[in-house]
Amino acid sequence: MKAAVYTSHGNTSVIEIQEVEIGRPKSNEVKIAVKAFALNRLDVWTRMGMPSLKLEFPHVGASDFAGEIIELGANVQNYSIGDRVAVNPTISCGFCLHCRSGEISLCDDIHLMGEHVWGGAAEYAIVPSTNLLLLPDDVAFVEAAAVALTALTSYRMIRNRAQIKPGELVLVTGSGGGVGTISVQIAIELGGRVIALTSNKDKESNARELGAEHVINYRENPEWGKEVWEYSGRTGVDIVIDSSGEKVFPQAIRALAKGGRYVTCGATTGTKGEVNLALLFWKQLSILGSTMSSHAEFEEVMDLFFQGRIAPVIDSVYTFDKVTEAHKRLEDPEHMGKIVIDMEL
């Protein structure tokens, strides 16, 4: 099959479309003809290389993809050849205490398609049948590929970790990115009010269209935390949803109300964060990490998508032969939402 691979870590120049062998599905696996895949910031980190990441090359990236089942392994139930499916990219062992309790994102041997094992940046992919979700006929592959990873990540952050309550004020940092654009929608869908923090006029307009009641451009207002504080009535926000990390952390913590919760799923601007411990205990703040989701959370948030209550914001769609250009667009800080490769173009 043809796949977008890299045989060493590096910039976008290491990406090549090559012929590679994929094999056949094993027991409880299926083979999917990939119809569309989307890129995440994780694809940049994986391609560039991280100290803790040990890959076997060649590597096929892309955690987000959707397609059609073309082959069934032994013991696969509830699915048939021709089924249209989306994929939960989290692969868990199924046996540890966390897996047995349904918390696969805490698995002792967790793997992510596109990061630790081959993903969907190819004509075909082999996926555990437990990671599949049937797509309604009216859902396009491009949109299904664009929504999964960011939506399940955001949904766990807001519903499970922050435990949002109706009427609470939520600050979404990086609200023009993949996680940010869907987080604005999910927070509102779950009853929250949203302040969106973003970087340019187009992203400001998009955040308002998604339902944010107040939008702040951090480039124009580097002391944006003060504006958050004033807008909240000088009480602070109940929740911060963040994937940016180091550069926003100090102001985000100061912007929290008493009993506020800061939830992070990433650190694109750096991993360091200093906390005033007196502020932490006096305001009784919570700092919470979050990653991926359970299968139940994945199904719940995808149901919101199927019902049209949330939708991915798609920056651009590329053909497979333009996958390198798609990666370059991903690295452009001006991109907004998701970047998708349509394998049917």
Q: The domain that contains 68 carries what CATH number?
A: 3.90.180.10
Count CB-CB contacts under 10 A for residue 94: 13
In a domain, 87, yes or no: yes
Specify whether 119 is located in the same domain as 189: no
DSSP letter at 117 equals: B
Specify whether 205 is located in the same domain as 279: yes
Give the residue numbers spanning the domain of 31. Answer: 2-135+313-342
Specify whether 45 is located in the same domain as 18: yes
Specify whether 168 is located in the same domain as 277: yes
Specify whether 191 is located in the same domain as 165: yes
In a domain, 147, yes or no: no
Specify whether 24 is located in the same domain as 62: yes
Specify whether 220 is located in the same domain as 260: yes
Per residue of the chain (345 residues), what is the pLDDT tens digit?
999 999 999 999 999 999 999 999 999 999 999 999 999 999 999 999 988 888 999 999 999 999 999 999 999 999 999 999 999 999 999 999 999 999 999 999 999 999 999 999 999 999 999 999 999 999 999 999 999 999 999 999 999 999 999 999 999 999 999 999 999 999 999 999 999 999 999 999 999 999 999 999 999 999 999 999 999 999 999 999 999 999 999 999 999 999 999 999 999 899 999 999 999 999 999 999 999 999 999 999 999 999 999 999 999 999 999 999 999 999 999 999 999 999 999
Contacts for 158 with CB less than 8 Å, ≥ 6 apart:
164, 170, 183, 186, 187, 190, 192, 239, 241, 263
Specify whether 249 is located in the same domain as 123: no
Specify whether 170 is located in the same domain as 81: no
Closest CA to 240 of 190, 291, 187: 187
In a domain, 141, yes or no: no
Specify whether 115 is located in the same domain as 189: no
In a domain, 273, yes or no: yes
Contact, 184 vs 207, CB < 8 A?
yes
Total domain count, the chain: 2
Q: What is the secondary structure of 135-198 as a DSSP string?
A: PPTTS-HHHHHHHHHHHHHHHIIIIIIS---TT-EEEESSTTSHHHHHHHHHHHHTT-EEEEEE
Specify whether 8 is located in the same domain as 87: yes
